[in-house]
A and B are shown apart, each in its own frame.
Chain A
Amino acid sequence: KNQVEQSPQSLIILEGKNCTLQCNYTVSPFSNLRWYKQDTGRGPVSLTIMTFSENTKSNGRYTATLDADTKQSSLHITASQLSDSASYICVVTFYNAGNMLTFGGGTRLMVKP
Chain B
Amino acid sequence: EAGVAQSPRYKIIEKRQSVAFWCNPISGHATLYWYQQILGQGPKLLIQFQNNGVVDDSQLPKDRFSAERLKGVDSTLKIQPAKLEDSAVYLCASSLGTGRQETQYFGPGTRLLVL
Contacts and interface: CB of A to CB of B under 8 A. Distances in A.
A99 B104 CA distance: 11
Given A44-B43, A45-B106, A105-B40, A99 B93 contact: no
A101 B104 contact: yes
Nearest to B98: A99
A43 B109 contact: yes
Given A42-B108, A44-B106, A45-B106, A99 B99 contact: yes
A86 interface: no
A106 B42 contact: yes
Interface in B79-114: 91, 93, 98-109, 111
Query: Is chain B's binding surface mostly helix, strand, loop or mixed?
Result: loop
Query: Is chain A's binding surface mostly helix, strand, loop or mixed?
Result: strand
Indicate the member of A101, A103, A105 with the most B CB atoms within 10 Å: A101
B14 interface: no
B32 to A, nearest CB: 13
Interface string A1-13: 0001000000000
Contact of B101 (A45, A49, A100, A103): A49
A45 B111 CA distance: 18
B73 interface: no
Interface of B: 4, 40-45, 48, 56, 91, 93, 98-109, 111
Closest 7 CB pairs of A and B: A43-B106, A103-B42, A31-B100, A44-B106, A46-B103, A43-B107, A105-B42
